[in-house]
């Protein structure tokens, strides 16, 4: 299966449009949304194209294809306006790998057993191995930090490709 991996949309309508368009044009099967969907949070500047109501409309149109994780900027009211479930975390088998999905603000508390942890929160792409577990972060599709680019990833079979917001390949990981 082919998965679009995104994190930290933070209410930017242009980011939601990219997610929808990439999902459709790249023929992805599911979207793995790693949290911070609608709000920018107190530590971030207001994103360009900030329009949470627009994000709601766009994402609800593809609700059956989204597996979402609760970020540190999510509020209870978010679940009332989004037509897909926002999970605290998910443990899934993806392309033959045991994968733990979480936002990342409690990452140091993870004590599970998996092959890969997908997380967001830092707004910085990451691909590291610690204690025989790969930690992968696609960065932020809206508010990148540390001079990184707005980014998302696509995971197909045993390959994860990191793209910038314009669809240019940043990095490729062969698992």
Boundaries of every domain in the chain: 2-88+139-174
Helix axes 52-60, 13-25, angle to 10 degrees: 20
Q: What is the pLDDT of residue 117?
A: 97
Q: What is the pLDDT of residue 128?
A: 96
Q: Which parts of the chain have pLDDT scores under 50?
A: none
- DSSP classification of residue 144: -
Q: What is the pLDDT of residue 158?
A: 97
Give residue 151's Cα distance to chain centre: 9
Q: What is the pLDDT of residue 129?
A: 95
SS3 content of the chain, % helix, strand, coil (to 5): 20, 35, 45
SS3 labels along 24-59:
HHCCCCEEEECCCCCCCCCCCCCCCCECHHHHHHHH
**pLDDT tens digits along 52-85:** 999 999 999 999 999 999 999 999 999 999 999 9
Fold classified for 2-88+139-174 = Purple Acid Phosphatase; chain A, domain 2 (3.60.21)
- CA torsion through residues 57, 93, 91, 73, sign: negative
Q: What is the pLDDT of residue 59?
A: 98
């Amino acid at each position: 299966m082919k998965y679009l991996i995104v994190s930290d949309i933070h209410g930017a309508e242009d980011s939601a449009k990219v997610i929808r368009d990439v999902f459709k044009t790249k023929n992805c099967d599911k979207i793995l949304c790693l949290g911070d969907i609608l709000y920018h949070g107190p530590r971030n500047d207001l994103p360009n194209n900030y329009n949470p109501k627009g994000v709601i409309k766009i994402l609800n149109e593809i609700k059956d294809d989204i597996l979402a994780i609760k970020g540190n900027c999510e509020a209870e009211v978010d679940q009332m306006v989004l037509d897909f479930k926002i999970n605290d975390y998910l443990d899934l088998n993806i392309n033959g790998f045991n994968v733990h999905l979480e936002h990342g603000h409690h990452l140091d508390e993870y004590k599970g057993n998996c092959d890969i942890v997908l997380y967001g929160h830092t707004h910085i792409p990451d691909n590291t191995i610690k204690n025989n577990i790969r930690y992968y972060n696609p960065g932020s599709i809206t508010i990148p930090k540390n001079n990184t680019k707005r980014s998302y990833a696509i995971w197909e079979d045993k390959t994860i490709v990191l793209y910038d917001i314009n669809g240019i390949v940043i990095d490729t990981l062969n698992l």
